[in-house]
Structure 1
């Protein structure tokens, strides 16, 4: 065991210190500014993995985690930090990535916009299911493993979703479903996904399964929906998503509506937005409204190209600034919903295109575009897409990122092609309180040659 001073954190929620021999030490359970005695868990040539054995000098913003499952569940990483410190950590993570990976000079702190709700903010939760004898377990994965932590509730999802989860959990625990066995790739039920809108006023239940429900199995699910609907009038529908493939991808490409409706309706600002069980929709609706409004405020020009548009939530906010928007999305049901949402919200000049952004966007498509808006998944933009944008001489690129590392990488590529990062535009939005996940907004502008 060794006593260390922790000077910062990484994106996995580990404190970072320096061992006596100079190696970097990643410490589970430590906060910046603390001194702790740590126990080594794993040693490598250039770094050490450790955990806090005893805090010698605690941060004044350390607190007891409110969730009793926190120390084993892998869902949250920052419950032991007061919320003000969480926001500081996220701003630090974004700045550190831009400096270290992108080579940008970041003076001072990036402003962090806190979530309006620290708890019960998530509108989506995915619970893995695993076989246990003739019954099953459901919960979240233990950190760094596929072992189920059988949580009885989650404090970051709404109360109604927690109550629905408790009923489904009871059924799984008592053998009402044939549950998935990862080792043998057998069993039917793999995940339970609960989505909510309007703080739980609407719920959608998605069972991710290895095969379509046929015959008596479907009839049993229809009866299940009727039973749940009596207890939860806010339940809009029951959907089975079919995913027979091995691996860590949760959602499959086929969905079957068992009964009810296959979508929810959310309101962000003045816009009504429908989304289904499989399409991307920001998990914190209140914070999404703040993020989208800020992103739209940075847009200049009348002709926009929006990539990774999902169901068109950001599109709606952008429409109040633009004359034309071409929105690109790869997921088929999201494309259909983006078109419907555009029509319902009376968005004029909107064209929604289906396809992967890197395959759809050609240099000719960027002629006359005033700003490209990208909101990619954690992997960031495909390099070929960045190269297409960079060679087009589009005046502005607005980048919304859920991963500071890939933002820094892609922003550096654009910088090398003649774009400058607008430091005043940088904002961090805490979309996921209690976790290390963070959204960052950055505007890049082409420099005059």
Structure 2
């Protein structure tokens, strides 16, 4: 070990970064981000990219191993870009994510909640209800199907996947056989998507050109020979090309996709292409926590910003709130309206489309006063919304659901500056085996800092 310690490329790992890489300092004090390394380990590393402020590297040898290191279950882990943390025991992944999230709050937002909520997590494998797999055709004409590699856009050819549902994973070779047959006949498929619920799985093929009648017959024949005999699920093929949305193809007229929020007696229909959380079980737990944190009183007027197809709006309505849902995509607004009526709470909700990234004080005032607000933005956060909050349009409680700790920290700092108390927050392990961090926070208006708002 002494000889190793003398080497310039041996370091002690003291943290993880937001991409799941080990963080260390080399002999000169320069920060090194090392893929595959864990806190409390000593490793030798190989630099893959050197920059002025930091280096990026891969682990060469783990000289002192963490007790939380495990063997990755997937044989593609070293190359596939789909997962980053399979070498870390699942419960330790949650703890590391919690630490990274807390560090982002302090470093970027310089804020911290009064209470840390217990993390939410469930099964670590075969949880992903929807996924997009890339298609690549080699110079030899061989089709590759899988996720992109860790540091390139090259497709890692896979025959199985540990985070997809088991019944989807086992069909990957059959799907690749179909794609090869299509490619051999001159038909190009750019990518495929899987969408799965408890009863139905949709495979959507995105074609470079409109599929011909010959191609359609080929798809139907493949389906009848391969997927029709499935004992565990009903399957359906959808097709898509150009700028058109995905369309039902074969077999027709099956009951559509949906997910359940059983705690609220809700069934949420959706179509391929609609935004839904990729982990239905975790989504149900997340929604339940959000509704509990909102502490809804009957008749309260509550905003659901970035409402999507009503994932939070409908549970709010079931609890007696008057919900106003705002979303940038018109087709999701229509879906939310339809879902509200199909679940017998249509009188409780009003939805409209608007660009929330262009929110200003005037627009926010036009919405009127809300007792409470739920914000569930994409990775870029809700900066325009929180910056535009001003008296007298300050909700007494805001629940913020985030998929990006950096933008959450930034927006939390704005809310605190405006007079909100950062009451509580915690992480949600929506994406096991990956470095992605979902979280939820509660901000309570104290009414004593109007001058900041």
TM-score (norm 2): 0.88
2:245 aligned residue (254, 263, 279): 254
Q: Is contact 2:397-2:444 (8 Å) kept?
A: yes
Partner residue in 2 for 1:440? 439
Q: Is contact 2:178-2:222 (8 Å) kept?
A: no
Query: CA, structure 1 residues 335+416, in 2 after alignment: closer, same or farther (shift >3 Å)?
Result: same
CA deviation after TM superposition for structure 1 residue 365, in Å = 4.0
Unaligned segments of structure 1, at least 5 residues: 181-186, 244-251
Q: 3-state DSSP class of the match of 1:112?
A: coil
After superposition, residues 217-366 of structure 1 pair within 5 angstroms as 217-232=215-230, 234-243=233-242, 254-259=245-250, 260=252, 261=254, 263-269=256-262, 270-299=265-294, 300-301=296-297, 302-347=300-345, 348-359=347-358, 362-366=363-367
Query: CA, structure 1 residues 350+262, in 2 after alignment: closer, same or farther (shift >3 Å)?
Result: same
Q: State whether structure 2 residue 92 is matched by structure 1 residue 85.
A: yes
Mapped partners of 2:184, 2:337: distance in 1: 38
CA deviation after TM superposition for structure 1 residue 384, in Å = 2.6
Report the more deviating stretch, 83-92 or 340-349: 340-349
Q: Is contact 2:182-2:188 (8 Å) kept?
A: no
The superposition leaves residues 46-89 of structure 1 with CA deviations (integer Å, 9 ceiling, x where unpaired) of 11112211112111010111111111111111110111210101
CA deviation after TM superposition for structure 1 residue 219, in Å = 4.5
Q: State whether structure 2 residue 418 is matched by structure 1 residue 412.
A: no
Q: Is contact 1:279-1:331 (8 Å) kept?
A: no
CA deviation after TM superposition for structure 1 residue 402, in Å = 0.7
Partner residue in 2 for 1:248? none
The superposition leaves residues 112-142 of structure 1 with CA deviations (integer Å, 9 ceiling, x where unpaired) of 2222x11111101210001224342111111
Query: CA, structure 1 residues 40+140, in 2 after alignment: closer, same or farther (shift >3 Å)?
Result: same
Mapped partners of 2:172, 2:305: distance in 1: 34
Q: Is contact 1:205-1:235 (8 Å) kept?
A: no
TM-score (norm 1): 0.89
Aligned length: 428
Mapped partners of 2:185, 2:90: distance in 1: 37
Q: State whether structure 2 residue 136 is matched by structure 1 residue 130.
A: yes
Unaligned segments of structure 2, at least 5 residues: 1-7, 449-453
Partner residue in 1 for 2:451? none
Q: Is contact 1:91-1:109 (8 Å) kept?
A: no
After superposition, residues 11-410 of structure 1 pair within 5 angstroms as 11-105=18-112, 111-115=118-122, 117-132=123-138, 133-172=140-179, 174-177=180-183, 188-198=188-198, 201-232=199-230, 234-243=233-242, 254-259=245-250, 260=252, 261=254, 263-269=256-262, 270-299=265-294, 300-301=296-297, 302-347=300-345, 348-359=347-358, 362-381=363-382, 383-390=383-390, 392-410=393-411
Query: CA, structure 1 residues 322+358, in 2 after alignment: closer, same or farther (shift >3 Å)?
Result: farther
Q: 3-state DSSP class of the match of 1:75?
A: coil
CA deviation after TM superposition for structure 1 residue 390, in Å = 4.4
Larger radius of gyration: 2
Mapped partners of 2:385, 2:115: distance in 1: 31
CA deviation after TM superposition for structure 1 residue 433, in Å = 0.9
When the two chains are superposed, the root-mean-square deviation of aligned CA atoms in Å is 2.4
Mapped partners of 1:253, 1:355: distance in 2: 22
